[in-house]
Amino acid sequence: MTQSPNDSISNSMAQETSRDVGPVVLLGPPGAGKGTQAKRIMEHYLVPQVSTGDILRYNVAQGTELGRAAKAVMARGELVSDDLVCEMVRQRLIQPDCKRGYILDGFPRTAAQAGWLDALLDDKLFDNSRPTRAWPIVIRLDVDYNQLLLRITGRRSCPTCGRIYNVHFQPALVDEICDLDGSKLVTRNDDRLEVIQPRLAAYQEQTFPVAEYYQRTGRLISVNGDRPMDEVTAQIFRILEDHHA
Ligand code: AP5
C-alpha cells in the first residue's frame, strides 16, 4: 500500500529530543482546526502528524488502488470504509518515527475505528515498556457551526508543502501564493458547499459517538476551538505538558 505524504518525517528528526508524547488523537468536525494544530504539535514535539485525510488525498492523487477506492466516497463527503482506513493507519504507525508518539488527525472517526485503535495499542506489535503504549490523549476541538462554514469555505492549502491558509483568518502574504515556496494555493475538492453538509452530517452521526466513547472512558479533553489559533495551540500544549508532568 502506498504510504503517506508525511512518511518522509525522518528518524533523525525523532531523535532530536528524548521527550515521549505518546499517541495524541485530535477529534473535531471538518474545519475545526485539527490539521492546523497537528502541524504545530508536530513542530513543537517532533512527532509525526498522521492525517488520514492527507494520506487518502495523496493516494487519490497518485491513483493507487486505495486512492481509486476512496476517490468517489471522499468526493461525496462520506467516510471511507473502516477496513481500508485501519490498514492504512496500521502501516503508518509501525514506522520507526512513531515510536515516541504521533498525532492522529482525523482518526478514529467511527466506533469501529476507535475499538480497532484500542486493540492495536494493546497489541504486542508495540513495545509494552514504552510510554507511547499509554492510552491516547484525546483532544476534541469544539467550534461553532457558522465559524466552521467560514473556515472550510475560506481554506486554501499549498499542494507542495501542505501549509494551510485561510482567506478570512490566515491569508497568504501574496493572494493565493504560498509564503514558503511560491506554489499556487489550491482549494480542496471536498470544500465545495454541496459536499460540506454531508461531511458535517458524517461527523455528527459517526464521529460524535467516538467522542462519547472516549468521554465515558475518561479520556476526552475538550478545547474551545473557536479561539484564535495561537490560544488553541497554547491550551493544547498545556494539556500535553500536564499529561506528562
Ligand atoms: P479530513 O482531511 O480528515 O477532513 P476533515 O475531518 O473534514 O477535517 P478538515 O481537514 O476539513 O479540517 P481540520 O479540522 O483539519 O481544519 P484545518 O486545520 O484545515 O477528511 C477528508 C475526507 O477523507 C473525509 O470526508 C473522508 O471521506 C476521508 N477520511 C479521512 N479520515 C477518515 C477516516 N478516519 N475514516 C474514514 N474516512 C476518512 O482548518 C480549517 C481552516 O480553518 C483553515 O483554513 C485554517 O487556516 C482555519 N483555522 C484553523 N484554526 C483556526 C482558528 N483557531 N481560528 C481561525 N481559523 C482557523
Quote the pLDDT of residue 134: 61
* 192 in active site: no
CA distance 245 to 40: 20
- Give per-residue pLDDT as tens, 102-126: 999 999 999 999 999 999 988 654 5
Residues whose CB is less than 8 angstroms from the CB of residue 14 and which lie 6 or more positions away in sequence, other chains included: 46, 47, 48, 96, 97, 99, 100
User: How many CB atoms neighbour CB 142 within 10 A?
Assistant: 14
Predicted confidence (pLDDT) at residue 11 exceeds the cutoff of 50: no
In the predicted model, what is the mean pLDDT of the chain? 89
% of the chain exceeding 70 in pLDDT: 87
* 199 in active site: yes
The residue whose CA is least distant from atom 53 of ligand 1 is 229
Pocket of ligand 1 (CB under 6 A): 28, 30-36, 52-53, 56, 73-74, 77-80, 85, 106-107, 109, 113, 151-152, 154-155, 164-166, 169-170, 190, 199, 228-229, 232
Predicted confidence (pLDDT) at residue 4 exceeds the cutoff of 80: no
CB 96 within 8 A of CB 11: yes
DSSP character at residue 207: I
Q: What is the 28 CA–ligand 1 centroid distance (Å)?
A: 8
Predicted confidence (pLDDT) at residue 9 exceeds the cutoff of 50: no
Predicted confidence (pLDDT) at residue 78 exceeds the cutoff of 70: yes
User: Which pLDDT band holds residue 129 (cuts at 50, 70, 90)?
Assistant: low
CA distance 71 to 93: 23
User: Which pLDDT band holds residue 132 (cuts at 50, 70, 90)?
Assistant: very low
* 34 in active site: yes
Residue 37, CA atoms < 13 Å, CB-side half-sphere: 32
The residue whose CA is least distant from atom 7 of ligand 1 is 30
Q: Which whole number is the average pLDDT over 86-94?
A: 95
Predicted confidence (pLDDT) at residue 222 exceeds the cutoff of 80: yes
- Domains along the sequence of the chain with CATH: 17-47+100-237 (3.40.50.300)
Quote the pLDDT of residue 84: 97
The residue whose CA is least distant from atom 40 of ligand 1 is 31
Residues whose CB is less than 8 angstroms from the CB of residue 134 and which lie 6 or more positions away in sequence, other chains included: 22, 23
* 76 in active site: no
Quote the pLDDT of residue 243: 83
The model's pTM: 0.91
- Give per-residue pLDDT as tens, 157-215: 999 998 999 999 999 999 999 999 999 999 999 999 999 999 999 999 999 999 999 99
Q: Which whole number is the average pLDDT over 238-244?
A: 88
Q: What is the 147 CA–ligand 1 centroid distance (Å)?
A: 13
Q: What is the 27 CA–ligand 1 centroid distance (Å)?
A: 10
Quote the pLDDT of residue 122: 81
Out of 40, 100, 109, 140, the active site residue is 109
